[in-house]
Amino acid sequence: MPTPAALVTGGATRLGRHFAEALADKGFDIALHVNSSRGEAEEVATVIRRKGRECEILPCDFLNDSPETLIQRATARFPGLNVLLNSASAYEPAPIAQTNLAMLETQFRVNMFTPLLLTRHFAEVVERGQIINIIDNKVAYHQYPYAAYLLSKKSLADMTRMAALEFAPRLRINGIAPGVVLPASQRTSDYVQWRIEGIPADHQGSPAHLVQALYYLLDNDFVVGQVLFVDGGESINLVGRHSENYPGC
């Protein structure tokens, strides 16, 4: 039997890198999708090969290239492909009043349309397997300053549930919605601390928390169509306004 393999989109940087290396630790060979981060991808591939696993870097520009070709190349290189992890993401903040068509097209194409098409083509060639979509705990909110990004991620969460129904039991499809784990480099320490103050767990998350979630979804075959929020409870911290917290009392 061929060695199990996983295709990780956006696997060269940030959370995608942690997921790719964690899957290698789990015994998977890795088809490592990359767009522009070729140098970082070479570093990740070296790490994975040192773990005793095979790794193939597969360039693909989701704004111009067909997702079908990525699945074809991944299965040609790794006949044991049985996991698809959609981690690639496009992010450009703007409220609706400042959102244009190009911003919508870019973020929806990378964050929603491509995972959907990858799911379709993965289902055409894989007999049994799993798909895990990396979403965002912001889907619990209506934060209009991130309109195009957040709407695309909300759509991805719904697509995860819909696809789970369509392709079960042959494919098991779930999602992970990270919270404050790897803040963007432009975020100040004061901003991160302010975010932590809104987290019931009272601390920032780490990539290890997300790897634990990944392993849980991989191993538990009775979890289907779920979006697992790994955010210290931040997304449920919505008490709302009522008579007992009204400052005029």
Strand ranges (DSSP E) for 115-240? 129-134, 171-178, 227-230
The answer to whether the CB of 29 falls within 8 A of the CB of 4 is yes
How many Å is the Cα radius of gyration of the chain?
19
| C-alpha–C-alpha distance, residues 12 and 17, integer Å | 5
Among residues 22, 21, 30, the alpha carbon closest in space to that of 3 is found at 30
Given the structure tokens 């060269």, which residue do they identify? 12
Name the packing angle between helices 147-167 and 101-108 (round to 10°). 30
Collapsed DSSP state (helix, strand, coil) of residue 229: strand
Averaged pLDDT of the chain: 95
Average pLDDT of the residues in 124-138: 97
Per-residue pLDDT at 18: 97
**pTM higher than the cut 0.75:** yes
pLDDT at 242 over 70: no
Asked if the 5-233 domain carries CATH number 3.40.50.960, the reply is: no
Kindly report the three-state secondary structure assignment for every residue of 26-51: CCCEEEEEECCCHHHHHHHHHHHHHC
CA 82 from centroid of its chain's CA atoms: 17
Q: Region 64-88: what's the mean pLDDT?
A: 97
Greater pLDDT, 171 or 246: 171
Q: Taking a C-beta distance cutoff of 8 angstroms, is the pair 15, 134 a contact?
A: yes
Q: What interhelical angle do 67-77 and 114-125 show, nearest 10?
A: 40
pLDDT in tens, 33-73: 999 888 999 999 999 999 999 999 999 999 999 999 999 99
Specify which residues 175 forms β-bridges with.
Answer: 133, 227
Q: What is the mean pLDDT of residues 6-22?
A: 96
